[in-house]
Amino acid sequence: MIKKILILALASVAVFSCNTKTRTKKEARQIAMGTDVPDFTAYNIETLHSEDAVPKNRMKAKVQMRYKNGNERYPEGIDIITFSKEDGTEESHLIADSAIYTADSTLYTVYGNVVLDDYKKGQKLETDTLHFNKETGDIFTEDKVKMTTESEIIFGRGLKANQNNPEEYEIMDIDGYADVD
């Protein structure tokens, strides 16, 4: 589970390109449920993942549910911070009202007031739903997005990105643009 969270957090740091079908919140919930009752439920969890005694990320959630099919739900929010390998400072921060991991497709979905702050690049992404494919590294949404950088704010619908190419992302339909002083 910690590796899954790490991958989600690392993917969230980057914002890049993809070609994967999205799903609605209702579909995501139905897929994640697997069965009516979770096999495992934990409350007020905080997980710190480290590698070679160096913190990689910290994940907090009020509720974590795991199902027999391997799917996971975080119905009351998720908060993930990734740390810099070099000096251990906070590199990015992802928060969302809910999250789902679908084991058979290795797809993570965070939804509801999704905010991703990338401190390293000075960028902030706001949207309602964000998907991450663990196998391909693709990050995407078809929802409205707001990308704030040090010099501009971009409004649009849809975003494609890939964790393996953190300098490039594409906002599909740009609705507006503003310079920041």
pLDDT greater at residue 16 or residue 146: 146
Q: Is the distance from CB of 120 to CB of 93 less than 8 angstroms?
A: no
CATH number (domain holding residue 152): 2.60.450.10
pLDDT at 169: 86
Residue 35 has pLDDT above 70, yes or no: no
Q: Is the distance from CB of 118 to CB of 107 less than 8 angstroms?
A: no
7-16, 35-44, 106-115: range with lowest mean pLDDT? 7-16
* 181 confidence band (pLDDT: 50, 70, 90): confident
Residues constituting the chain: 181
pLDDT at 84: 86
pLDDT greater at residue 21 or residue 151: 151
Q: Is the distance from CB of 68 to CB of 39 less than 8 angstroms?
A: yes
Q: What is the DSSP string of the chain?
A: -HHHHHHHHHHHH-----------HHHHHHHHHSSSS-SEEEEEEEEEEEETTEEEEEEEEEEEEE-TTS-EEETT-EEEEEE-TTT--EEEEEEESEEEEETTTTEEEEEEEEEEEETTTTEEEEEEEEEEETTT-EEEEEEEEEEE-SSEEEEEEEEEEETT-TT-EEEEEEEEEEE--
Give me the domain span that covers residue 163: 2-179
As a whole number of angstroms, the longest Cα–Cα distance in the chain is 51
Query: What is the per-residue pLDDT across 123-172, written as a single tens digit (0 to 9) for each?
Result: 999 999 999 888 888 989 999 999 999 999 999 999 998 877 767 889 99
Structurally, the chain folds into a number of domains equal to 1
User: pTM value?
Assistant: 0.76
Mean pLDDT of 42-55: 92
